A and B are shown apart, each in its own frame.
Chain A
Amino acid sequence: MITLNDVSKSYGDFQVLSHCTTSVSKGEVVVVCGPSGSGKSTLIKTVNGLEPIDSGEILIDGTSVSSAKTNLPMLRARVGMVFQHFELFPHLSIIDNLVLAQRKVLKRPRPAAEKKGMVLLERVGLIDHARKFPGQLSGGQQQRVAIARALAMDPIAMLFDEPTSALDPEMINEVLDVMVELAREGMTMMVVTHEMGFARKVANRVIFMDRGEIIEDAAKDDFFGKPRSERAQQFLSKILVH
């Protein structure tokens, strides 16, 4: 479904990604973790072309992301993305946040788009807030709306870029619950997160990154059981002790 082949990227002299190769199969949940500045957020943003790459190749469902011939907006419409800071559109009501791209990109008529939006709001437990504005919702609620907004496009895969990092601790679970449910329904997911509990629960594979490189790419049980690299071991010992 998603294939990264020898992807590299640098800002000036600073190499943010170096020769990253991995893939995510249909229905698979892959968690990307690593210390801050390791390039994991950049990596996930390259998948839908929000970050251009210097070399290598990224394929989504067989379509190259970096090819000039690709209609990037149409490709992005098929891959949902959830950001650390939600990025709901503050000037639009919650339902309009869900409707906008359905109408402008998928050309769905407004009633159909609204209906779809309402079904998804119901699913993330926020149907009562449809007419409110993002600023009136808590962080956790906003992030659930952001997930619903991405799902409204009927994506073939979902990308999560540290979806719980900007949340107060008591709101993390409400977002993770939605993600777990999504994973169990068979959604293809690539998730950058520090939530190892989430990884243990639903991930098929875990990718560990450091300094722009993919250090470890292993099945979940192997990763948590006995990471091969020293750096991954150190990382795990730091975040799992507490």
Chain B
Amino acid sequence: MLTGFDLQTVINALPYLFFTGMSFTLTLTVLSTIGGILFGTMLAIMRLSRYRAMSAMAAGYVNVLRSLPLVLVIFWFYFLVPFLAQWLTGASSPVRVDPFWSSVITFTLFEACYFCEIVRSGIQSLPKGQSLASQALGMTERQTMIYVVLPQAMRNMLPLFLTQTIILFQDTSLVYVLSITDFLGAAAKIAQRDGRLLEMYVFAAAVYFVISLLASHAARRLQKRVAIIR
């Protein structure tokens, strides 16, 4: 089956695949991870809040988004937000949303739900005595969260963060539904243009595989370095 494998097609496409495609994929992954962790941490703190309304709001958000397929959210956001923005701003025509920022925001909003659950379990897994000790020293709940709870929870959760980031890295390929040239999108375009489907999709798969594998190895090493001695 692989007798006709044309390596030259792949080699010729490398600059386009990496400088255009992969750079988009990685930028999207990094920005959405940062956004997702920040927003997800906020959601987690809201979910654990003793104010019912706040906790219910965050829980509702997380549950709704987790019940929707990611592709649908990407679609919805990209096609509906221009109209929503028009309605909100009172513009005369739908507001154009840049596909890049649209995907960054979509992934941030979506991934935040998963990061929220990771952070929430991280916070809950800490012995309650830590919060009590911090409060007994006169620290407010806010200070306790920032200086005592989160630093420990984050360290405990680091491996899960990285695993989730690897999933996100793979998920970003779904932006192909918006005809965006991410890494997979770039490979698909070359494949169509040159009629080299096999070569391009095998190569794309190999690249995703290698990067994900290396990242999980890095995750494991990092985990050992930041682990708290107990």
**Interface, chain A (partner B; CB < 8 A):** 45, 48, 50, 73-81, 83, 85, 87-91, 100-101, 104-106, 133-136, 146, 149-150, 153
Excluding A85-B127, A100-B139, A150-B137, 13 further A-B contacts by CB distance (< 8 Å) are: A73-B138, A76-B137, A81-B136, A83-B133, A87-B129, A87-B133, A89-B133, A90-B228, A100-B137, A105-B138, A133-B228, A136-B229, A153-B137
Please name the residue on chain B nearest to A149 by beta carbon: B137
Is A85 within 8 A of B129, CB to CB? yes
- The complex places the Cα of A166 from the Cα of B137 at a distance, in Å, of 21
Give the docked Cα–Cα distance between A105 and B228 (Å): 25
Chain A's closest residue to B229 (CB) is A135
Q: Which residues of A contact B148 (CB under 8 A)?
A: 89, 100
Q: Which residue of A lies closest to B141 (CB)?
A: A73
Residues of A within 8 A of B130 (CB): 87, 89
Say yes or no: A101 contacts B229, CB within 8 Å: no
B: residues with CB less than 8 A from A are 127, 129-130, 132-140, 143, 147-148, 151-152, 155, 228-230
Contacts of B155 in A (CB 8 A): 91
Of A80, A81, A90, which is in contact with the most chain B CB atoms at under 10 Å from its CB? A90
Indicate if the CB atoms of A90 and B230 lie closer than 8 Å.
yes
Cβ contact within 8 Å between A91 and B152: yes
Selected A-B contacts with CB under 8 Å, 22 pairs: A74-B138, A76-B136, A76-B137, A76-B138, A77-B137, A81-B136, A83-B129, A83-B132, A83-B133, A85-B127, A85-B129, A87-B127, A87-B133, A88-B133, A89-B134, A91-B152, A100-B139, A101-B137, A105-B138, A105-B139, A133-B229, A135-B229
Q: CB-CB < 8 A to A85: which residues of B?
A: 127, 129
The 6 closest A-B pairs by CB, nearest first: A77-B138, A135-B229, A87-B133, A101-B137, A81-B136, A105-B138
Residue among B132, B139, B151 making CB contact with A101, cutoff 8 Å: B139
Closest Cβ neighbor of B151 among chain A residues: A91
Neighbouring B residues of A104 by C-beta, 8 Å: 139, 143, 147
CB distance from A27 to the nearest CB of B (A): 22
Nearest B residue to A132, CB-CB: B229
Give chain B residues whose Cβ lies under 8 Å from the Cβ of A73: 135, 138-140
Q: Give CA–CA (A74, B136) in the complex, Å.
A: 10
Distance between Cα atoms of A90 and B155 in the complex (Å): 11
Residues of B within 8 Å of A149, CB to CB, are: 137
B residues within 8 A CB of A87? 127, 129-130, 132-133
Docked pose: A48 CA to B133 CA in angstroms: 11
**Which residues of the partner chain A approach B138 to less than 8 Å between Cβ atoms?**
73-78, 101, 105-106, 153
Which one of B132, B135, B137, B147 has the highest number of Cβ atoms from chain A below 10 Å of its Cβ?
Answer: B137
In the complex, are the beta carbons of B229 and A50 less than 8 A apart?
Answer: no
Q: Which residue of B lies closest to A104 (CB)?
A: B143
Q: How far is A51 from B215 in the complex, measured between Cα atoms in Å? A: 45
A50 and B132 alpha carbons, distance in the complex (Å): 7
A173 to B167, CA, bound (A): 53
